[in-house]
Structure 1
């Protein structure tokens, strides 16, 4: 009887704290956490009192967020291990946020789950007991992760956009889920829009894939953006920003080689469109405060397009620069310096990333790739980082062209389950603990190549230190706070850890 009472109170305490552990499953590539309508792991509550610290850990063989706590010391003269010294840290960039894209495929996969599993999935991303994504990317029309090719006005020659209309995909797979996510985030989800292609009749190829805008449709294409924001506003969805074009280089790749929805811009064309059409149209509209994000393409092309934000006419409309990660191996991290302007402060945002086919359920290496990319981007001033599809199925789709990809959450609609992969937890450490408006700190450390860190001062006054251990051995780490107090802890092998104090 005593044992049963003890178990009851343990379960009650866990329930009241709102924390649920990972239902871990072994896969061919590692481990995942399994969720369905009745169960899903959550993030333990933040509970840091004066003089204490709390650490959240995820490792290659233990998914989920495991919380532990300890006591800060007044000082330490011991040679405990690797040091992260915040005493004289200067402040760097502000955190914008982290998130993923509300693609058609994501919506289709989420809607394929039972209602309870849908709620658990959305809460995992956007709820207070989840990783609290604060950014969402919304495609303007179809992408490679739609089940058909479409735009919002496929009526040839509709110069006045009389036939502009949101599609079934918006009303079923995007807007309802965005509104649920917005509610779960306590109205703190910032959305930005990205276009993959203009309607084919506006282009010199008359195709969804490849091609550039015809000169006579530059203003019509800018007006198309306004129509999009107006229609979404009517549906109760507002935006924080937009990108000037998803991967403008793709528009110059022949459609037989790369049949992806795309629209090409040269540097000169982008300057002209932004300075004469998009920029003035946005700034004179009811959406004048939207953030305009240039580039939205690989970092390897920053050298080519940097003149867009350096130009006096187009640059005055640009608020930030977006980069994708797919060609990072062909350019050093230092090329991100080209995302800066000599004339104004611009934010840097990773606007798209994902691992390729096939789906490797439970791959820790794919989680590591996210961690390393985020940390390196933040070292060069990034304020946030965006995943691509929020959710895909076990085949890495659905998709309108053969382009299967991996995703942090994978749905198994035959069982009503979904699987949280290491990529989800990699993203989660940053999105959960580096909250928007946190200030990144420049720190001193003696970390080895296997250890990397990011530190930030949060709006609530807490300091967050993320420590990534790529090595096969655990590592002792000592963190010295700005006030000189010390915490000492050990981070597991192949793990990502967040320390709050």
Structure 2
């Protein structure tokens, strides 16, 4: 077989996003030299089944979206949920307020164990309309899970929005709250797929809405209150994810959550965040969590560029090692090494690929849309979103982070199976998954300052491909 014939034997479509300006651009011409690395796909060896990829519906995102023209609003919704866009398949929202709300509120402000005044009226102006528009734009549909940051203050030992614990006398009331939330959203035509039990049960430094649980307390609540209540109310099919904070703490949580059959019964999986480090993926912790409960979900439920005001219309910043996170200033001295400066695109690509290569089956970004300040946020906890808008001038900026997310969400679909990959270039990161339609999506991330060449092998067939310096590629194989 001639070299030319060999090169053409594997049919691929290649899409690239790069520091040099590509944005999910289809690439057909490749610069190939004689020295090439190899990436070999082994689809017979499979790992986890993908749940999905996406972002979060927050009151802040919905509010700024509502301030735009219909044209730009539709552009963003279709950009995230349309088949031609990122085609998000897994999303999150908050129950009661969070820091990315305009103010602090609860669906049950009155002290009443039966929650007779329960109402989601706070969500009616912005949040629910955004979710409904996303549903209308999505051909394939998507899953939504909801997370509380805190119970209303009257249910807590410190009677405060921030910190404190849920009083045991209100465990049944708080379980009822989840059931009533499902009812209320169902009335709005929105089906909630599941929950995380509590956003960041270790707290957030007592800054904004929070409520503390130990692993034992959360498991007691799920095992004896939340799980049985949802089951009794006909919601036994709803997903319950435990933990919902940084990865380094995984072992102590999964040891308690999955201690035995009784403790595990109502947990469908474990939720994690990425804020422990700007570069470390914590593969050992992820592997441990998977091995502790191989049949449970393991979903990254929140990550974002935090402690930064977004850079407007400046693609290069997102590829440059300039961003700092909360830990740059606030981490303990012995943990500061985990929080160096980083390039935002690199952090996203590295983390998602690292997660997929360590049993994580879903990856959810934080806010979908924020303004130029990185808000609104009642606590002024400014963050970056993949789409930034200027409501005053009705302008929209799809940052490189949007395209980074789309490299995964658009091409790796729910029910795909992560497959084995052999990669000979340790400076390049690779992951791959086989979709339900039989196509294979391979995501390659080249963080280096030089272009790379590699031969992609599937069985006896191969294709020589080059990737630009500082670039992400999704390679789709359909044959």
Q: Please indicate the TM-score interval, normalised by the length of the shorter structure.
A: 0.7 to 0.9
- Residue 399 of structure 2 corresponds to 421
2:435 corresponds, among 458, 481, 493, to 458
Contact 1:325 1:352 (C-alpha < 8 Å) held by counterparts: yes
- Residue 324 of structure 2 corresponds to none
- Shift of the 280–323 alpha-carbon distance from structure 1 to 2, 3 Å rule, reads same
For 1:104-123, what per-residue CA distance to the aligned partner results, in whole angstroms no more than 9, with x for missing partners? 00001111110000001100
What is the CA distance between 1:280 and its match in structure 2?
1.1
1:67 corresponds, among 9, 13, 26, to 26
1:500 corresponds, among 464, 476, 479, to 476
For 1:118-139, what per-residue CA distance to the aligned partner results, in whole angstroms no more than 9, with x for missing partners? 0011000000110101111010
- Residue 235 of structure 2 corresponds to 287
1:137 corresponds, among 92, 100, 118, to 92
SS at match of 2:384: coil
What is the CA distance between 1:309 and its match in structure 2?
2.3
Distance of 1:301 and 1:106 partners within structure 2: 29
- Residue 461 of structure 2 corresponds to 485
1:183 corresponds, among 122, 132, 136, to 136
What is the CA distance between 1:87 and its match in structure 2?
4.5
Query: Normalized against structure 1, the TM-score is what?
Result: 0.84
- Residue 16 of structure 1 corresponds to none
- Residue 367 of structure 2 corresponds to 389
- Shift of the 412–63 alpha-carbon distance from structure 1 to 2, 3 Å rule, reads farther
- Shift of the 84–175 alpha-carbon distance from structure 1 to 2, 3 Å rule, reads same
2:266 corresponds, among 308, 314, 317, to 317
Distance of 1:455 and 1:88 partners within structure 2: 9
- Shift of the 275–426 alpha-carbon distance from structure 1 to 2, 3 Å rule, reads same
- Residue 54 of structure 2 corresponds to 99
Contact 2:255 2:292 (C-alpha < 8 Å) held by counterparts: no
1:402-441 equivalences in 2 (<5 Å): 402-441=380-419
1:242-391 equivalences in 2 (<5 Å): 242-250=195-203, 253=205, 258-312=206-260, 313-328=262-277, 332-340=282-290, 342=292, 345-356=295-306, 357-361=308-312, 362=315, 363-364=318-319, 365-391=343-369
Aligned residues: 438
Distance of 1:322 and 1:88 partners within structure 2: 27
What is the CA distance between 1:65 and its match in structure 2?
1.5
What is the CA distance between 1:51 and its match in structure 2?
5.3
SS at match of 2:362: strand
CA RMSD of aligned residues (A): 1.9
Contact 1:52 1:69 (C-alpha < 8 Å) held by counterparts: no
Query: Normalized against structure 2, the TM-score is what?
Result: 0.88
What is the CA distance between 1:178 and its match in structure 2?
0.8
- Shift of the 126–400 alpha-carbon distance from structure 1 to 2, 3 Å rule, reads same
Distance of 1:344 and 1:331 partners within structure 2: 19
Distance of 1:57 and 1:186 partners within structure 2: 24
SS at match of 2:126: helix
Unpaired segments ≥5 residues, structure 1: 1-48, 72-77
Distance of 1:115 and 1:237 partners within structure 2: 22
Distance of 1:208 and 1:242 partners within structure 2: 20
Contact 1:135 1:190 (C-alpha < 8 Å) held by counterparts: yes
What is the CA distance between 1:310 and its match in structure 2?
1.6
- Residue 70 of structure 2 corresponds to 115
What is the CA distance between 1:103 and its match in structure 2?
0.4
Unpaired segments ≥5 residues, structure 2: 1-7, 320-342
1:156-167 equivalences in 2 (<5 Å): 156=111, 158-167=112-121
For 1:371-412, what per-residue CA distance to the aligned partner results, in whole angstroms no more than 9, with x for missing partners? 001111111101121111010000010011120111111001
Distance of 1:51 and 1:307 partners within structure 2: 45
SS at match of 1:373: helix
For 1:286-336, what per-residue CA distance to the aligned partner results, in whole angstroms no more than 9, with x for missing partners? 221111111111112212212332222221111111100001367732111
SS at match of 1:116: helix
What is the CA distance between 1:80 and its match in structure 2?
5.0
SS at match of 1:64: coil
Contact 1:358 1:405 (C-alpha < 8 Å) held by counterparts: yes
Moved more, 424-433 or 353-362: 353-362
- Residue 7 of structure 1 corresponds to none
